[in-house]
Amino acid sequence: MADLLPMPKSRRQREEEELAAYTARWLELADAALSATEKAAKTLELARREQKRDDIKRRLDIYTKAGGRRVKKVG
């Protein structure tokens, strides 16, 4: 019969378990937010690299069209 009825937990044990569950949940949320932030930062870095690559390609195309001579900016 004693196996069927567990001992009631003390108030302190219940509070510690609740606090542990609460802390674990907040750590999960913080980790998810950090992951999202990291993903956004990586995406921005990739976009910057792509923009830089496109800028270099565009400049090379202009240089090639000008017959290998330097083209002055207008404006």
Convert the pLDDT of each residue in 30-66 to its tens digit.
888 888 888 899 899 999 999 999 999 998 888 888 8
The candidate with the shortest Cα–Cα distance to 59, out of 46, 74, 70, 48, is 70
The candidate with the shortest Cα–Cα distance to 35, out of 25, 45, 46, 43, is 43
Return the domain boundaries, the chain. 41-68
d(CA 44, CA 27): 25
Convert the pLDDT of each residue in 5-40 to its tens digit.
667 788 889 999 999 999 999 999 988 888 888 889
Sorting pLDDT into bands at 50, 70 and 90, what band is 74?
low
Phi/psi-derived region of residue 72, left when phi > 0, alpha when psi is between -120 and 50, beta in every other case = beta
